[in-house]
Structures are given as C-alpha cells and as structure tokens.
Amino acid sequence: MSYRGKRIAVNISSVLLTLLLIMLILFSVMMLTFNMVYIKTCVRGFSMYPTLNANVTDPNADGDIVYINKYSTVERGDIAVARVSWWSDAIIKRVVGVPGDTIKILDMGDYYALYVNNSPLIIDGKTYERDKNLNTNAYYNHYISFIENEEFSDNIMLDEDSDICIKLNENEYFLMSDNWAGESIDCMINGPVKADNFVGRVDIIVHVGENEILSTFSQMFKLIFA
C-alpha cells in the first residue's frame, strides 16, 4: 500500500473512531438525562384495563412497565401517578378533569358517558363512555354517591343544562379509572387531588411481553422528535 493509501486509511479510521466516541458521549448524556427525568414502576391491578395491564396469571405480580416524567405538567387526558392520603401506594389513573372543569356521568340508555364542560370527553379519538353490559352500574352509583356526599358539597353545582355535576376548584384535579367494570380507588370515591399530589405523567408504557429496551427506546425517540 502506498503512503497516500495508508494516510487515507488512517484518516478514515480516525473519523470513525471520532464518530463512535461522539455517539457514546451523546448516548451517555441521553441516558443520564433520561434517568434524571423518569421514574420506572410497574402496574398492579386492573383499574386501568385495557390501557394498562396487570399480570394476568398472577394479579399480585408486576404487569406493564411505565416510565413517569416527574418534571411534566399534567393535562386532561393524560395518565398520571399521584400519592394520596387515602391509599398506601401511589395510584395510576386517567386525568379527566383539571382546575375549573365540570364533570358528570350521564345515563345515555345503553351506556354511561363522561362529560367534561358539557361535552363528551374524547381521548385518542374515542369518547370516554362505557356500555352498561360491562357491569358499569357500580361506577355510576359511585358518581351518585359522590354528589350526595356532604364532604364534597363544595364541589357540587348545577351546570348550564341544570344537570348536577362535579365542579373542580382551584388546584384540584380529578382522576378516574379506564376500567369501569370493576371497583377502583380513585377520585370518584375519595374526592379530587391537589397538584402537589402528582408524582408525574406517564410518558412511556411497556406492555407485558414486549421487549423493554426496544420499546422504551422507540417511544423515547418518538417523544424527542415528535
């Protein structure tokens, strides 16, 4: 090999090594930032089914893995994790109401529908409603119990349609389960939560059976480049 050929080969090797070093540094910074921002935890129970799933074969075992962004703001429609006085563990639920919202569950005949500010709540293009055949009467009864509970009288009002609804005051959020067919520990039973209760917003979900590394990185890049 000529001297020129050797020099070109050396230069290419140097460029490749430099690129590899840059990639390693960027990866290290990205992972350090990720670990600073996110908290990893596992789902137990079926209150968020089918969005989040527990371990079907063993309800006491870990189910889906979620990564919680502890620096995020929480908005209506998000899945969030909160620590509350009425439950020993942190709860993971759907945020259906934010400060100033009015919430009500309406009996629509064949199904129950969740209304927020006099409009059906739509999440990911779907209305937040449940067929009565899914045994959702218990959840509707929770709603009736809530509006009749003197403890929450400050949250009860009539909306513009003269329907009784739950009014969220300043700094109050309302969290509910996606699964209306079973019992659930959420705000419909225990009242609104405050902003200080939130651990953060769920940004990444790894379902049971998925490759955790591939799924996590795929969703992480979607968040970065969205």
Write the Ramachandran bin of 152: left for phi over 0, alpha for psi from -120 to 50, otherwise beta: alpha
Print pLDDT tens along the chain (226 aa). Answer: 555 555 555 577 777 788 888 888 777 776 777 778 899 999 888 889 889 987 766 656 678 999 999 998 999 999 999 999 888 889 999 999 999 999 999 999 999 999 999 999 998 888 998 888 888 888 888 999 999 999 999 999 998 888 899 999 999 999 999 988 777 889 999 999 999 999 999 999 999 888 888 898 888 888 877 6
Distance CA 33, CA 23 (A): 15
pTM as predicted = 0.83
Is residue 21 located within the same domain as residue 66?
A: no
Is residue 189 located within the same domain as residue 100?
A: yes
> Which domain does 6 fall in, by range?
1-37
Amino acid symbol at 140: Y
Return the pLDDT at 41.
Answer: 92
Is residue 152 located within the same domain as residue 187?
A: yes
Is residue 151 located within the same domain as residue 171?
A: yes
Is residue 200 located within the same domain as residue 158?
A: yes
Cβ atoms of 186 and 90 within 8 Å: the answer is no
Return the pLDDT at 67.
Answer: 95
**Number of structural domains found in the chain:** 2
Q: How far is CA 185 from CA 22, 45, 85, 139, in A?
A: 48, 11, 12, 11
Which residue in 136, 140, 139, 102 sits closest to 121, CA to CA?
Answer: 102
Return the pLDDT at 59.
Answer: 59
Is residue 8 located within the same domain as residue 102?
A: no
Q: How far is CA 195 from CA 124, 155, 187, in A?
A: 24, 16, 14
Which residue in 66, 165, 75 sits closest to 113, CA to CA?
Answer: 165
Is residue 11 located within the same domain as residue 53?
A: no
Distance CA 203, CA 79 (A): 8
Is residue 18 located within the same domain as residue 130?
A: no
Is residue 4 located within the same domain as residue 50?
A: no
Look at the chain and count its residues.
Answer: 226
**Domain containing residue 164: CATH number:** 2.10.109.10
Strand partners of residue 98: none
